[in-house]
Amino acid sequence: MKNLYTVDEIAAVFRELGLDAEILPDEPDCDTRIHSNTNGIAWQIAMTGDGPFHLGIRARVPMWVRGDPFRWANEWNRHHWSQAFAAIDPDTNRPVASGRTYMVGIESTLFFGSGVTPEYVVGFIDWWTDEVKALSEVPEVTFYEELPQ
């Protein structure tokens, strides 16, 4: 059992599962990230804590939804382990909007601190790709083909 993983070890899990794994260069005030794509939907893993050995991973996918973003997120949350949330503009304290669509994010976190086996990490990322695949079947959602930097 391991307590911490490097970004290269997590990227290797992606590749083991047949996923793309683009490790992004470190930026100031930004977690180390790995970008991937499932069913044409761009998503990423952010490595939490300072490297090279990280405390956990946070999987996330941003998207745009038609209709009330709070209702959409609540409905998703009733049926899934991942958490959906409406993105809020800090200047207006209102949902981030573009026309009649609203930005929503879905994420889930895996902390390594209590000890996580490599097989558990594989299972988490495999489960996450199933969550992303479920999103591809939702008609009122628009995704990024590539995530904005």
DSSP-assigned states of every residue in 43-108: EEEEEESSSSSBSEEEEEEEEEEES-HHHHHHHHHHH-SSEEEE-EETTTTEE-EETTEEEEEEEE
Does 147 score more than 70 pLDDT?
no
Does 49 score more than 90 pLDDT?
no
* pTM score of the predicted model: 0.87
Angle between helix 118-135 and 7-16 (nearest 10)? 60
- Mean pLDDT confidence for 26-40: 82
Whose tokens are 């490599």? That residue is 118
Tokens of 102: 């609203």
Question: According to the model, what pLDDT value does residue 28 have?
Answer: 64
Alpha carbons 107 and 109: distance in angstroms, whole number:
7
DSSP class of residue 28 equals: T
Does 25 score more than 90 pLDDT?
no
Give the residue from 45, 54, 50, 51 showing the smallest Cα distance to 112: 54
Question: According to the model, what pLDDT value does residue 12 have?
Answer: 95
Does 11 score more than 70 pLDDT?
yes
- Residues 18, 120: contact at Cβ < 8 Å? no
70-113, pLDDT tens digit by residue? 999 999 999 999 999 999 999 999 999 988 899 999 999 999 88
Does 1 score more than 60 pLDDT?
no
Question: According to the model, what pLDDT value does residue 106 have?
Answer: 96
Residue 142 has a CB neighbour count (10 Å cut-off) of: 10
